[in-house]
């Protein structure tokens, strides 16, 4: 009987230790699953964070490009009633009825006293086979070509110019078409 008792106690011990062992294995598996889950969450957070950072850098670059690409003429010329772009360096502006020749890089302006019209015209230089831009203004019903300082460099005798006029320089003579 003692032997049966020992066997029963041994079986009870095995059953109890088996359930303890199973419980320990289950706890270990749960901890392992939780650890893997935390690692996945950390990896997802890192990916999302890197994507957010990349997106923020892209937006920053786009804003920078947009600002750099902004038409500096319109920013500089916003205080004028009207403006006529000449090229990337100069623009004509009108404010309170006075025409100005504005250098876009520096913001310096030259008042064109008595001028009632001003615009750029393309000049076909046949002597050098090139194209140039002429700055023409009308003052006292006479048309003049000016330099970037506002000084007259050519006077058009009895000629009416429009923004569609064509100028040709041939044999050092300026002709209006």
Mean pLDDT of the chain: 83
Q: What local confidence, expressed as pLDDT, does residue 32 receive?
A: 93
pLDDT tens column, 27-55: 889 899 899 989 998 888 888 888 888 88
The better pLDDT of the pair 106, 115 is held by: 115
pLDDT tens column, 139-164: 988 888 898 888 888 888 877 888 88
Instruction: Indicate whether 71 pLDDT > 60.
Output: no
Instruction: Indicate whether 88 pLDDT > 90.
Output: no
pTM of the model: 0.56
Per DSSP, the residues of the chain read: -HHHHHHHHHHHHHHHHHHHHHHHHHHHHHHHHHHHHHHHHHHHHHHHHHHHHHHHHHHHHHHHHHHHHS-HHHHHGGGSSEEEE-SSSEEEEEETTEEEEEETTT--EEEETTEEEEEEEEEEETTTTEEEEEEEEEETTEEEEE-TTS-EEEEETT----TT--EEEETTEEEE-
């Amino acid at each position: 009987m003692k032997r049966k008792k020992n066997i029963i106690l041994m079986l009870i011990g095995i059953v109890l230790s088996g359930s303890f062992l199973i419980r320990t294995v289950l706890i270990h598996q749960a901890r392992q699953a939780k650890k893997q889950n935390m690692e996945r969450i950390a990896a997802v957070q890192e990916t999302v964070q890197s994507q957010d950072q990349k997106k923020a850098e892209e937006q920053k670059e786009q804003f920078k490009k947009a600002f750099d690409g902004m038409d500096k003429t319109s920013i500089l010329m916003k205080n004028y009633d009207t403006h006529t772009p000449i090229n990337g360096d100069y623009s004509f502006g009108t404010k309170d009825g006075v025409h100005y020749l504005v250098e876009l890089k520096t913001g310096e302006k030259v008042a064109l006293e008595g001028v009632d019209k001003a615009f750029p015209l393309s000049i076909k230089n046949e002597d050098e086979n090139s194209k140039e831009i002429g700055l023409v203004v009308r003052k006292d019903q006479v048309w003049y070509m000016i330099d970037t300082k506002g000084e007259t460099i050519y006077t058009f005798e009895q000629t009416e110019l429009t923004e569609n006029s064509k100028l040709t320089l041939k044999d050092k003579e300026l002709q209006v078409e």
